[in-house]
Amino acid sequence: MGFTSAESDSEVRSTDQHPWWKEATVYQIYPASFNDSNDDGIGDIPGITQKLDYIQSLGVDVIWVCPMYDSPQVDMGYDISDYEAVYPPYGTVQDMEVLIHEVHSRGMKIILDLVVNHTSDQHAWFKESRSSKTNPKRDWYIWKPAEYDNDGSRKPPNNWRSIFGGSVWEWDELTQEYYLHLFCPEQPDINWENEEARKTIYQSAMISWLDKGVDGFRIDTVNMYSKPVGLPDAPIKDPTAQWQDAGLVYCNGPRMDEYLGEMNSILSRYNAMSVGECPFTPDPARILGYVSEKEARLNMVFQFDSVDVGIGSAHRYMTTPFNYTLADVKSAIRRTQGLIDGTDAWTTSFIENHDQPRSISRFGNDSPQWRSRSGKMLAVLFASLSGTLFVYQGQEIGMINIPKEWPIEEYKDVDTIGYYAEVVRKNPNDTKAHDQTKAALQHLARDHARTPMQWSSQTNAGFTSESATPWMRANTSAQEGINVADETNDHASVLNFWRQMLKLRKTHAEVLIHGIFKLIDDDNPSVFSFIKTSPDTQSKAIVICNFSDKESKLPTIDGLSSSNMLIDNVSEAGTKDQSTLQPWEARLYIST
């Protein structure tokens, strides 16, 4: 099938029927790992600008740039010390202004990360807050006095476990109180109950960038701002642990709707897009309350049902690789797609981001034999789901996880390092526990998304010069054909397949982007099939994906005809037995 890239030279506009962000495809960029323009081994803002023509050629409409603000980089920029400055190795505010202009000149839009549940402990606000109990900014963060055991030992106010391990409470010697940090000790939580703090956040973190032309925000941990009254203990899930997972306790607090309403009143003045990160929210009714159009809070959220498939229940990494069934994947997607059925809400489609491993390694097969085909299968699946589609850098070329031969020392993420160290500390001589943890990290760690973008097969994958030392080692799969240069010239590459798929998604938006999802052949253990029905036309789409290394029988579904099969990821599709699905085959049928 011949194809061209999507009409990416036409500006992303709202239509009478739909706001601009509904039919957009968003391309996520992790600045440290995308493209290094000055050979210091760290990606940067000018490096992004250099690659805008490539990004445009994919057929995407919006770029999302992960935090590029000034930061001590304890958590790769999610610990912000100044919302109005840029981290110097990434560039300057002027570099950002050039990037915004160049994105807009190509008819695309740009959104930034908004990280306002917490700041860095190096932010001027927190330095003031911790300077004394009487400082005017003391109440901008969450400070509590110690509690004491019967024997007089000091202890934190509750049993919450930090997302990165240990207690959420850090003792401050100077003022003799604890402060709350749901993430690292270097990421103190802002007290959103303080109206002055909220107003200052809105001005510094939002309005200052909207006035520079930014088109919206991906809002980090959007449901953590309002803490539960009294900060009660979490239920004990792990009796062996001192600190307990408390996500279901501290998320979705009583004033969340109020705070999101305030933020939306600013965003709506700019016709800006908002997408919230919504962890620990299994209740669809709560999600609906955030994204219902009439409630005017958020345009959409990321629900984590799909990317949480197979993770450990007590902790993400307390699991084994591939600890899930296809039925788990089906039910996760059915839940998130069902959000728009009969409602005024909107949803998202994604399977990769900076916090997730590579999808081919996790849900496909990253062996040389099947990595390309299973990557294309995942492209068909997620580009056929309703909602705004998000594609993470490298996903479009089929990047895979870090090789298993790499030692744990190659992993750089604070989450990975902290968790592995905790396991070793608790089990110093238990090599089996160490090996199980390594296996889980090799499957699920955030590091897999953070290796440098693979532009070519050169040393360092073309991310930086061959003589430079990248901040994180480039994946050796760049020398195995997984890179932009090789794939650009290969008609059958994952890259060119994604371009084709994104064009089809735009052409058939009424059914692929807006259609109502219905799972079919539920009990099939290896084949994922579903129907999409347009709410406004007679269009129907049928998507069939074989999640297996073996051939599978094509399900019996009304409306399957080779004449309306728009795309297939098996090159000999026209000549093979139509009733048999090849390993990792995906087909998309559309009838109008």
User: What crossing angle do the helices spanning 284-291 and 256-269 adopt, rounded to 10°?
Assistant: 30
Cα-atom radius of gyration of the chain, to the nearest Å? 24
Task: Characterize the bridge pairing of strands 25-29 and 388-392.
Answer: parallel
220 tagged catalytic: yes
Q: Any bridge partners for residue 587, and if so which?
A: 544, 568
3-state secondary structure 370-428: CHHHHHHHHHHHHHCCCCEEEEECCHHHCCCCCCCCCCHHHCCCHHHHHHHHHHHHHCC
Q: Report the residue count for the chain.
A: 592
Cβ–Cβ under 8 Å, residues 19 and 299:
yes
Q: How far is CA 107 from the centre of its chain?
A: 24
Annotated catalytic residue within 75, 189, 277, 352: 277
Of the chain, the end-to-end C-alpha distance in Å amounts to 20
Percent helix / strand / coil, the chain, rounded to 5: 30, 15, 50
Question: Which SS3 state, helix, strand or coil, does residue 27 take?
Answer: strand
Rounded Cα–Cα distance for residues 77 and 95 (Å): 17
Report the sign of the C-alpha dihedral through residues 306, 312, 314, 315, in that order. negative
CA distances from 514 to 351, 389, 499, 510 (A): 19, 12, 20, 5
Cβ–Cβ under 8 Å, residues 307 and 323:
no
Closest CA to 450 of 184, 113, 76, 96: 76
Rounded Cα–Cα distance for residues 545 and 569 (Å): 10
Q: Any bridge partners for residue 520, and if so which?
A: 529
Residue 377 is encoded by which pair of tokens? 């299968």
Annotated catalytic residue within 113, 220, 396, 486: 220
Rounded Cα–Cα distance for residues 301 and 198 (Å): 21
Q: How far is CA 100 from the centre of its chain?
A: 22
CA distances from 591 to 515, 539, 544, 546 (A): 13, 6, 15, 21
Q: How far is CA 551 from the centre of its chain?
A: 32
Cα atoms found within 13 Å of the Cα of residue 564, Cβ hemisphere only = 14
Residue 33 is encoded by which pair of tokens? 């790992």
Q: Which active-site residues does the annotation give?
A: 220, 277
